[in-house]
Structure 1
């Protein structure tokens, strides 16, 4: 069965307010503490009992943590801040719907993840491409091969990060021209 619903501007505003609270927490917390809290939530929340939609969204948190901790990817600060906001929201047990509320306690987390993953989809896509490129390069057998591989991987990382920024800017410009008409609704599936 597929259920879809629309979030009206007031609904979206509540999520933005919650995200602003998460952003304030990020500004006064250490990155490793935010990541540790997200990991703790992943280990302790009843994710396996959650409906499939929620479970799929929450498991994407693992990929976001991996992206932050990937030294070779070295996610730049502005994009790191976006991911950290998402992780701070996710790891807050007292968010819009407290996480310990049976069945629906993780619904707000899944919705927030959906909304924020849409905003950073170019970052996630670039990282996915980077991981594939790293895998395609394989392991080098000798020192010269390792140096060559590292240079090629750094070149590819720089290309992908430039691409993700171009796409985000292009999208922001396009949405600025069509955004904020009264009555605009965000659909989440």
Structure 2
């Protein structure tokens, strides 16, 4: 029999976690990058099967952040890397708010911090997800030797947007509702 416990953190509750994150982020420039990444990877990998689902799903987000920094094809700028490493720095601390050895609840503080980090970097995570999906599609289409970069993905997104705009324009013209701005002011003779 499962037991469901729901709780809601108010802004003042989250302020405590944000303060902890800011203190950690302030020290990130002094930390070794590989130590930060290894600590996050270790946390995500070692306990994956030992934690409740609500923690495990957040640990996958932590892994994704590590992958984003290490992925040469994604090609983060130095500033973007520092942003992500700053977010990951909390997980390289030896001290936790809640001792990880405490069954079930030991990773609650980590899950909350991961959730805050994921929310802060939501747009970056979504873009990286899309890039990874694009890369998988290209490998399926062109084979294992296919090299796909962030620039390739952005170009494909640009082409997709232009195609969408042309299609919408054609649909509006075919609809016959009005001449439309473009055809009314056309300079095409």
Q: TM-score, structure 1 length as denominator?
A: 0.68
Q: Equivalents in 2 of 1:156, 1:56: separation in Å?
A: 27
Aligned residues: 153
Q: Check 1:29–1:3 CA distance in 2 against 1; reply closer, same or farther (3 A cut).
A: same
Report which of the two structures shows the higher radius of gyration computed on alpha carbons: 2
Q: Equivalents in 2 of 1:52, 1:83: separation in Å?
A: 24
Q: Check 1:59–1:155 CA distance in 2 against 1; reply closer, same or farther (3 A cut).
A: closer
**Alignment-derived partner of residue 78 in structure 2:** 77
Counterpart among 7, 13, 32 of residue 11 in structure 1: 13
Q: Check 1:115–1:158 CA distance in 2 against 1; reply closer, same or farther (3 A cut).
A: farther
Counterpart among 33, 36, 44 of residue 34 in structure 1: 36
Q: Check 1:91–1:158 CA distance in 2 against 1; reply closer, same or farther (3 A cut).
A: farther
Q: Check 1:104–1:120 CA distance in 2 against 1; reply closer, same or farther (3 A cut).
A: same
Q: Equivalents in 2 of 1:129, 1:10: separation in Å?
A: 34
Q: TM-score, structure 2 length as denominator?
A: 0.68
Point out where structure 2 has 5 or more consecutive residues left out of the alignment. 158-189
8 Å contact 1:54–1:107 — kept in the other structure?
yes
Report SS of the residue matched to 2:57: helix
Superposition deviation, residue 91 in structure 1: 3.2
Point out where structure 1 has 5 or more consecutive residues left out of the alignment. 161-189
Report SS of the residue matched to 1:83: helix
Counterpart among 146, 153, 157 of residue 156 in structure 1: 153
Q: Equivalents in 2 of 1:90, 1:79: separation in Å?
A: 18
Superposition deviation, residue 130 in structure 1: 0.7
Report SS of the residue matched to 2:105: coil
Q: Which deviates more, 16-25 or 106-115? A: 16-25
Superposition deviation, residue 150 in structure 1: 4.9
Report SS of the residue matched to 2:27: helix
Deviation string for 1:84-138 (max 9, x for gaps)?
A: 1332212324122232333211101101111221111110110011111112222
8 Å contact 1:22–1:89 — kept in the other structure?
yes
Q: Equivalents in 2 of 1:50, 1:133: separation in Å?
A: 31
Q: Structure 1 residue runs of 4+, over 6 Å off?
A: none
**Alignment-derived partner of residue 88 in structure 2:** 87
Report SS of the residue matched to 2:80: helix
8 Å contact 2:68–2:74 — kept in the other structure?
yes
